[in-house]
């Protein structure tokens, strides 16, 4: 299946009936927008003994990722429509995430509490995570994957193509990092652009949105409930006592079958 949340797009395999192998080479080919389907991440749905289902994530470069917020919302909406349910538990490498129908075609997912310990984010050494020793003094946050947020005067004016790769591979981030640039529109509204590790510039990112919201609270810029305007549209984030909730639209674009020729091609 092809799905997207605010233009952050995914190839999704439902492997509950038929096991699916997704070696890194296949992920990269599927993610190719000219020779494959095209996506930011690949997602595999599987059964789980205690949660309603389990999700595995791969970035476009074929490297596994612990979590993807927009993909979780997309799959949750798909499963809710199949099952008629309005609340689901989803096992990820980040832990069990809970999703609910927010009404009006919107889906919410609790991405869990933010990770604010330098070793767990993870960072390479003990530093002030609210003012990293990097030009621009960005904020580090973990949401199951690492994030580096720059608060700037104008996110539109930042050359993210140049900034993104250098920060993604900065020595301070041993597992690389997602990179965001954001500016304040109002005390409850942020503008954000994102560079995702292993992908590049994306129209939206759920975990990045959560990380930016948390970073904005820590910097004293906003309250805990904010709207974030991304290149692909708006998403709502609410940092509650039980975790960071994210709410927005999703789309199931099509369902299809990969050809034997495509699957048999050398990688």
| CATH top-level class of 2-110+250-264 | alpha beta
Confidence of residue 142 (pLDDT cuts 50, 70, 90): very high
User: What percent of the chain lies above the pLDDT cut of 70?
Assistant: 100
| 139-241 matches 2-110+250-264 in CATH topology | yes
Give pLDDT, residue 231. Answer: 97
Instruction: Decide if pLDDT at 187 tops 90.
Output: yes
Give pLDDT, residue 13. Answer: 97
Domain covering 139-241 in this structure, CATH number:
3.10.310.10
Query: How do beta strands 64-65 and 41-46 pair?
Result: unpaired
**Rounded-to-integer distance, Cα 57 and Cα 68, Å:** 7
Give pLDDT, residue 199. Answer: 96
For every residue of 39-75, DSSP letters joined together read -SEEEEEE--SSSSEEEEEEETTS-EES--HHHHHHH
Give pLDDT, residue 207. Answer: 97
Give pLDDT, residue 163. Answer: 98
Confidence of residue 202 (pLDDT cuts 50, 70, 90): very high
When pLDDT is averaged across residues 135-143 and rounded to a whole number, the result is 98
Give pLDDT, residue 87. Answer: 98
Contact 121, 154 (CB under 8 A): no
Give pLDDT, residue 266. Answer: 85
195: left (phi over 0), alpha (psi -120 to 50) or beta: beta
Q: Which two tokens stand for residue 17?
A: 């009936």
Confidence of residue 156 (pLDDT cuts 50, 70, 90): very high
Confidence of residue 267 (pLDDT cuts 50, 70, 90): confident
Q: What is the pLDDT of residues 84-124, one digit of tens each?
A: 999 999 999 999 999 999 999 999 999 999 999 999 999 99
Q: What is the pLDDT of residues 224-251, one digit of tens each?
A: 999 999 999 999 999 999 999 999 999 9
Instruction: Decide if pLDDT at 28 tops 90.
Output: yes
Q: Where are the domains of the chain?
A: 2-110+250-264, 139-241
């Amino acid at each position: 299946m092809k799905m997207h949340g605010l233009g952050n797009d995914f190839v999704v395999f439902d492997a509950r009936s038929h096991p699916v192998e997704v070696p890194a080479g296949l992920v990269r080919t599927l993610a190719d927008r000219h020779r494959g389907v095209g996506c930011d991440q690949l997602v595999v749905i599987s059964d789980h003994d205690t949660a309603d289902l389990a999700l595995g994530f791969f970035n476009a470069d074929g490297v596994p990722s612990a979590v993807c917020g927009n993909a979780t919302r997309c799959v949750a909406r798909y499963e809710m429509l199949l099952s008629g349910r309005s609340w689901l538990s989803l096992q990820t490498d980040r832990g069990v995430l809970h999703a609910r129908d927010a009404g009006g075609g919107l889906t919410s997912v609790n991405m869990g509490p933010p990770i604010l310990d330098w070793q767990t984010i993870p960072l390479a050494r003990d530093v002030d995570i609210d003012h990293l020793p990097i030009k621009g003094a960005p904020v580090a946050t973990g949401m199951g994957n690492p994030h580096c947020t720059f608060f700037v005067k104008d996110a539109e004016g930042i050359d993210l193509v140049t900034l993104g790769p250098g920060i993604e591979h900065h020595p301070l981030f041993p597992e690389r990092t997602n990179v965001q640039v954001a500016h304040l529109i109002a005390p409850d509204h942020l503008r954000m652009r994102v560079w995702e590790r292993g992908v590049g510039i994306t129209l939206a990112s759920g975990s990045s949105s959560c990380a930016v919201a948390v970073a904005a609270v820590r910097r004293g810029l906003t309250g805990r409930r904010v709207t974030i305007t991304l290149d692909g549209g708006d998403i709502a984030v609410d940092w509650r006592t039980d975790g960071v909730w994210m709410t927005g639209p999703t789309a199931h674009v099509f369902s299809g079958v990969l050809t034997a020729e495509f699957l048999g091609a050398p990688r």
